[in-house]
Amino acid sequence: MKKTTLAITAAFLMLLGISCQKEESTIEQPQTPASLYTRVGGSTMVADPNNPSTMIESGRLTLRAVVDSSILIIAADPQMAKFFPVLFAELGAGNSNGLAALSKNFTDFMCVATGCKNANYAYMGLNMKDAHNPAKHNRMGAKATAADFDKFVGHIGAGLAKNGVTSVNNKQLVDDLVALLYTTKTDIVQQ
């Protein structure tokens, strides 16, 4: 091959290389949608307001705050009392250990269900069917109906609102969290 032909071929290959690189960098990568956990704060570590010497993931902090607000709202609803005989008896006797355990387990459950990957927040409680079956879980005082379930989810919606997430300012997030809760309905409603 002549020198000039070689030079032209080399230049052409170089150009081809550049244009391929350019094309690669402009190809749109498919975006994985952010998990619900990311949308409520994700894995960024922040100081835990309940215990300032420890750190907590921002997503977990949001979910714990919603769980704790919701438990208070549920506890104030007379329609819910028959489901929580053990918890309320403990609280009446000044013992909050069961409440702390429920808050932790419910928060762990929500973390895992929304897509948290931190192994420290793994859910170690009962599965939803057994947790809500009085024959298998003595802390569950009665079987829940569909109406009880809807009311309970309504209380969690109120718990979300107490923490600044409402259908007015973040309808999509509320809808997605409520839809997630509804995935448990067939296991929890047992009459």
Phi, psi of 115 (to 5 degrees): 110, 15
**Token output for 112:** 């895992």
| DSSP conformation class of 49 | T
Show contacts with ligand HEM in window 47-86 (CB under 6 A). 83-84, 86
Cβ proximity to ligand HEM, 60 vs 132, nearer residue: 132
Nearer Cβ to ligand HEM, position 87 or 165?
87
Q: Candidates 34-42, 62-70, 126-134, 165-173 — which segment interacts with ligand HEM by CB under 6 A?
A: 126-134
Stretch that binds ligand HEM, among 12-20, 49-57, 63-71, 181-189 (CB under 6 A): 181-189
Query: Binding to ligand HEM by residue 40, rule CB under 6 A?
Result: no
CA neighbor of 66 nearest in space, from 90, 39, 84, 33: 39
Q: Is 126 in the site for ligand HEM (CB under 6 A)?
A: yes
3-state secondary structure of 11: helix
Please report the beta strands in 27-155, taking only residues with DSSP state E, as ranges in sequence order: 45-48, 51-57
Among 138, 141, 107, residue whose Cα is nearest residue 125: 107
User: Where on the chain is the footprint of ligand HEM (CB under 6 A)?
Assistant: 83-84, 86-87, 98, 102, 105-106, 109, 125-126, 131-132, 139-140, 144, 148-149, 152-153, 181, 184, 188
